[in-house]
């Protein structure tokens, strides 16, 4: 095994896969406010966490209406749709799939009706590891997918169904306190019935969830940046193992499990926005500090430090500050490249990375470059980038990575490649360097990353770097993104559902 501190590392010949985010969740309880529009802007601030689908549910006290579709937040919603979603409670979600394929049926919020006729809308960020067990409990209870969601194959739909089933006898809050302790894995839940907004966070607090205050209401969000955009003041984090309920009587808190904090360290590296704070620590400040530590651990003589925008920018600034090598912008990013439904032609596909990044030739020509990126998964991006920089005139390219080698997949909500596809798994450092074509390659050490986060090591999940999973995993056959697909009792391939009108529990999409 090679030390994570080594300064010569790289990547493989697999299809490109950057680390994919999980999801973003947002909830607001605010009588007299345009809660659908607040949810829209909250999701806009969380768009980086999921770009496959978006949805908002709104309750006016009598019924819940859900509108969702595949695409970016700005593609799914317009002024007409948002104006039609009237109420005082909203639940929002932007999705990247970690359990279940990217289909309309798996878009969230997911909806269920209880036996008493009450509605339940639920949004989930994270990934459960006892999905197979929940599926078996769902089948044993005789529960079927919601009528409009026969193609649903997500762990979130299982949770919503079980919660709705229990709520018929005890009410939503009591049902949640009974169900939540049986969930295993990472979950940040925001859900509502007609009158109350709820939020819950797994006992490990793997991913962030925060509480904010409005002048006339409350907000729950995946990141503090989403509070800022709607003018909510940060109150505190939702505690690990905590259930919050907000209604006309105010806010109340319950404990369903003892906290065992294991926050995802990769939130600091890549997932969260730089203008977010986690556990009281600015993400931007953390990334700058990582860059400084990277410069101390892996120095090199060079003329210019450039970031791979945007996620590599703060670490590149820190590297330049600590090394004394000037910082510059050598790459321009196309800010409009999100998830696209238009497949590129073969010619354009061969251009690869140029769809996202293009070099500033006059800046980099003749220079020895330090190129700072957030992480390497398979390495195809870095290999194409190094080639492009050399073609643009760089005389040396030294790649520096603001995280340790990713050697293990994540089962708690980040869709990394499988372990066999991870370049750092089984490849020696110099072999990786040669594969991407860099002159040198260095990673920050795990110790440096932890120190930059200013969190105790005991409170962090670092499984993707060290293979130590804080929440026990089931057998391989009982875990995976497509676990719930193609099972007995499903209705075959997912199909679009279009409903013309709005009604209690209608899940609406454009025809």
Enumerate the active-site residues: 23
Instruction: Determine whether the annotation assigns residue 3 to a binding site.
Output: no
Give me 54's structure tokens.
């978006």
Instruction: Determine whether the annotation assigns residue 373 to a binding site.
Output: yes
Helix H, strand E, coil C: the string for 10-75 is CCCCCCCCCCECCEEEEEEECCCCCHHHHHHHHHHHCHHHCCCEEEEEEECCCCEEEEEEECCHHH
**Exposure string over 283-301, b if 16+ CB within 10 A, otherwise e:** bbbbbbbbbbbbbebbbbe
Strands 304-307, 281-282: pairing is: unpaired
Instruction: Determine whether the annotation assigns residue 7 to a binding site.
Output: no
Start-end of H helices in 152-195: 155-170, 172-179
Instruction: Determine whether the annotation assigns residue 188 to a binding site.
Output: no
Nearest in space to 127 (alpha carbons), one of 50, 51, 194, 195: 50
Question: At a CB cut-off of 8 Å and minimum separation 6, what does 124 contact?
Answer: 23, 25, 93, 108, 154, 155, 156, 159, 187, 188, 189
Distance of alpha carbon 298 from alpha carbon 5, whole angstroms: 8
Distance of alpha carbon 58 from alpha carbon 68, whole angstroms: 12
Placement of tokens 């700072």 in the chain: 372
Instruction: Determine whether the annotation assigns residue 410 to a binding site.
Output: yes
Instruction: Determine whether the annotation assigns residue 464 to a binding site.
Output: yes
Mutual orientation of helices 155-170 and 131-140 as an angle, nearest 10°? 50
Do the Cβ atoms of 141 and 490 come closer than 8 Å?
no
Distance of alpha carbon 420 from alpha carbon 407, whole angstroms: 9
Binding-site sequence positions for Mg(2+): 311, 373-374
């Amino acid at each position: 095994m090679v030390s994570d501190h080594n300064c010569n590392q790289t990547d493989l010949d697999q299809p490109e896969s950057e680390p994919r985010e999980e999801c973003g969740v947002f909830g607001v309880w605010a009588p007299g406010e345009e809660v659908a529009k607040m949810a829209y802007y909250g999701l806009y601030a969380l768009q980086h966490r999921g770009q496959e689908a978006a949805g908002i549910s709104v309750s006016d006290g009598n019924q819940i209406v859900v509108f969702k579709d595949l695409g970016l937040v700005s593609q799914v919603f317009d002024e007409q749709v948002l104006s039609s979603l009237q109420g005082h409670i909203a639940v929002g979600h932007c999705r990247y799939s970690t359990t279940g394929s990217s289909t309309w049926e798996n878009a969230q919020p997911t909806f269920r009706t209880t036996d008493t006729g009450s509605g339940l809308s639920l949004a989930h960020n994270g990934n459960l590891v006892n999905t197979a067990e929940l599926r078996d409990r769902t089948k044993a209870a005789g529960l079927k997918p919601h009528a409009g969601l026969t193609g649903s194959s997500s762990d979130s739909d299982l949770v919503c169904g079980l919660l709705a089933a229990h709520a018929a006898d005890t009410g939503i809050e009591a049902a949640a306190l009974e169900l939540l302790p049986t969930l295993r894995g990472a979950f940040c839940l925001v859900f509502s019935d007609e009158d109350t907004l709820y939020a819950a966070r797994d006992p490990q607090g793997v991913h962030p969830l925060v509480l904010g205050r409005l002048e006339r209401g409350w907000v729950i969000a995946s990141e503090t940046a989403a509070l800022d955009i709607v003018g909510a003041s940060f109150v505190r984090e939702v505690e690990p193992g905590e259930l919050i309920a907000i209604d006309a009587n105010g806010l109340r808190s319950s404990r369903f499990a003892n906290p065992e904090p294991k926050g995802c360290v990769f939130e600091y590296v890549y997932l969260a926005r730089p203008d977010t704070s986690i556990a009281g620590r600015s993400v931007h400040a953390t990334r700058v500090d990582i860059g400084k530590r990277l410069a101390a651990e892996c120095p090199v003589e060079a003329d210019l430090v450039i970031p791979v925008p945007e996620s590599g920018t703060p670490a590149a600034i820190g590297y330049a500050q600590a090394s004394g090598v000037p910082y510059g912008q050598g790459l321009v990013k196309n800010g409009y490249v999100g998830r696209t439904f238009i497949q590129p032609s073969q010619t354009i596909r061969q251009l690869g990375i140029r769809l996202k990044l293009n070099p500033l030739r006059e800046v980099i020509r003749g220079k020895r470059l330090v190129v700072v990126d957030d992480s390497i998964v398979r390495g195809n991006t870095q290999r194409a980038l190094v080639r492009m920089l050399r073609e643009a005139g760089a005389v040396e390219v030294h790649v520096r990575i603001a995280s340790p080698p990713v050697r293990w997949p994540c089962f708690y909500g980040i869709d990394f490649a499988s372990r066999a596809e991870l370049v750092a798994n089984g490849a020696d450092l110099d072999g990786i360097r040669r594969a991407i074509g860099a002159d040198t390659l260095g990673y920050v050490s795990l110790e440096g990353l932890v120190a930059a986060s200013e969190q105790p090591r005991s409170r962090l999940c670092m499984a993707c770097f060290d293979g130590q999973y804080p929440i026990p995993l089931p057998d391989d056959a009982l875990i995976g993104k497509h676990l719930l697909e193609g099972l007995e009792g499903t209705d075959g391939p997912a199909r679009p559902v279009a409903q013309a009108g709005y009604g209690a529990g209608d899940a609406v999409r454009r025809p």
